[in-house]
Structure formats: structure tokens, C-alpha cells
């Protein structure tokens, strides 16, 4: 049997120097690609392009998908006006990601959302975000670590009985943290399966869906040295294998 193919949503970066200053390049951090390879999948980068026809054809190739990190989601997507503390948004990427998510879900493709990808899942399902952690009614920890990407800095308590708990077989894990926003509310399609000790939601799951997991932290930056983080990609690839078998 062939290895399952995992699509990774990408973004656009503008060259700051080099031979082509101002030039646009399609990109995703290499860690996403390495994590899929390490878990036994074949990674494919999905260029930021909101053509439904093209995305449907791309999705035909896939057995699973990762929605990667990036810009804040435009608050209009969850019926809010922009707060002063909102950071950069990218409406073109919203258009691409929201469409890609809807099309991926239609065919019950296994989904892993990371950081922005996790927030995208929540908003697509009808949930809302805090535009900044300072807008939460109680005080939060520092969720934007000033250290290297591969250092776990805060604890996440794992909800017993959740799929996430099944994957990890643990009540508590340590994660890294690079976010200034957080999930404010979830819809009836979504379960919360992990929180930081300040109650900030860090993990969600789709209800009645084969595999739909979203994490606020960045397992792709930790998986090379943290067993718990490897399990997340292993679970995605295993769900992708199952999907592939039914195609
Ligand atoms: Mn955090």
C-alpha cells in the first residue's frame, strides 16, 4: 500500500532582500513537511489559491490535511469589528483557507489544524476568538514565549475521554506557545479537549467526524524531540491511511 498523502496549506511571504526584493513566494515552515515525513506520510504543499475547481482537484490527491499557522483571521468571519489589538490579517488567505476547509470537510478528510489552522477550524464551525488574550475576562499566562520554538513553556491539561486523550494516553502535556489570540466560544460541532492552566483553550476536536483535531500550540516544532508531539502526527497519518483504504 502506498503511503498516505498529507496536504499542507501554505501562505505567501514577500522577499525582504536577495536578488528579488518585494517578490512573492509561496511558503510553509519546513517543520510541517518534516513532521509529515517523520510520521510516514507524503507531504504536498497546497498553494494559496482560492479557485474551487483547483482545490477540489488538489483534494482528490490527498488522504489528510494540515491547516498551518499564520495571520490572524479577519474578525468579520466571526461577526466582530477589528479591535485595536488585532494583528495582521490576510483576507486572501482567509478566502483560500475557509474554502479549503469546507471542501476538505465535505469529503470527511482527516484534518489537523495548527495555531491559525486551529482557529480557522473553530471559526468555520461557528465559534469565536478573543482578538487578543488581554480581552479575556480573567488574566492569562504569557502565551507568546520569548524562547526558541522547540522549548515547551506551559502545561495543557487533557480532557479525559477525548480523542486527544486517546492519542496521548496522558492527563497533562507541556507545549510551546506562540499566540496572542484564543478560542472564546465553540459551537455545538466542537468539543474542547485541552486547556492551559489559565483556562485558555488549547485543543479542540470535531464531533461526529472521523479525525478532526485542532491545537493552539506548534507540535511540528517540537516533534523532533518530544514523543507526545510525534503521537499527534502519527494519529493524523493513521487516520489518513484509513481514509486512503476507503477511497
Ligand atoms: Mn498557549
pLDDT tens sequence for the chain (247 residues): 899 999 999 999 999 988 899 999 999 999 999 999 999 999 999 999 989 999 999 999 999 999 999 999 999 999 999 999 999 999 999 999 999 999 999 999 999 999 999 999 999 999 999 999 999 989 999 999 888 899 999 999 999 999 999 999 999 999 999 999 999 999 999 999 999 999 999 999 999 999 999 999 999 999 999 999 999 999 999 999 999 999 8
* Active-site entry in 125, 202, 220, 226: 220
How far does the centroid of ligand 1 lie from the alpha carbon of residue 201, in Å?
Answer: 8
Structural domain boundaries, residue 70:
5-246
CATH number (domain holding residue 130): 3.40.50.880
- Other residues' Cβ atoms within 10 Å of the Cβ of residue 148: 8
What does the angle CA 178 – CA 128 – CA 10 come to, to the nearest 5 degrees? 50
How far does the centroid of ligand 1 lie from the alpha carbon of residue 136, in Å?
Answer: 14
Tell me the pTM: 0.97
**Number of compact structural domains in the chain:** 1
Q: Is 143 a catalytic residue?
A: no
Closest CA to 181 of 230, 144, 137: 144
Q: Is 90 a catalytic residue?
A: no
Under 8 Å between Cβ of 206 and 102? no
How far does the centroid of ligand 1 lie from the alpha carbon of residue 237, in Å?
Answer: 25
Rounded distance between C-alpha atoms, residue 198 and residue 145, angstroms = 15
Q: Is 218 a catalytic residue?
A: yes
Closest CA to 124 of 204, 231, 200, 233: 204
Amino acid at each position: 500500500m502506498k503511503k498516505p498523502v498529507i496536504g499542507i496549506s501554505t501562505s505567501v511571504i514577500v522577499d525582504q532582500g536577495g536578488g528579488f526584493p518585494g517578490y512573492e513566494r509561496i511558503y510553509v515552515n519546513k517543520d510541517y513537511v518534516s513532521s509529515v515525513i517523520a510520521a510516514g506520510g507524503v507531504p504536498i504543499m497546497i498553494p494559496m489559491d482560492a479557485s474551487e475547481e483547483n482545490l477540489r482537484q488538489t483534494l482528490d490527491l490527498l488522504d489528510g490535511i494540515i491547516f498551518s499557522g499564520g495571520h490572524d483571521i479577519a474578525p468579520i468571519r466571526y461577526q466582530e469589528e477589528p479591535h485595536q489589538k488585532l494583528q495582521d490579517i490576510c483576507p486572501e488567505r482567509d478566502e483560500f483557507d475557509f474554502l479549503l476547509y469546507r471542501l476538505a470537510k465535505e469529503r470527511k478528510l482527516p484534518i489537523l489544524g495548527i495555531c491559525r489552522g486551529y482557529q480557522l477550524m473553530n471559526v468555520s464551525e461557528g465559534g469565536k476568538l478573543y482578538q487578543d488574550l488581554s480581552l479575556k475576562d480573567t488574566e492569562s499566562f504569557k502565551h507568546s514565549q520569548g524562547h526558541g520554538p522547540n522549548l515547551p513553556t506551559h502545561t495543557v491539561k487533557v480532557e479525559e475521554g477525548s480523542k486527544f486523550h486517546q492519542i496521548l494516553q496522558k492527563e497533562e502535556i507541556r507545549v510551546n506557545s506562540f499566540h496572542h489570540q484564543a478560542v472564546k466560544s465553540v459551537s455545538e460541532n466542537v468539543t474542547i479537549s485541552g486547556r492551559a492552566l489559565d483556562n485558555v483553550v488549547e485543543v479542540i476536536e470535531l464531533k461526529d467526524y472521523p479525525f478532526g483535531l485542532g491545537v493552539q500550540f506548534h507540535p511540528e516544532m517540537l516533534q523532533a524531540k518530544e514523543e507526545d508531539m510525534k503521537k499527534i502526527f502519527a494519529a493524523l497519518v493513521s487516520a489518513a491511511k484509513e481514509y486512503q483504504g476507503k477511497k
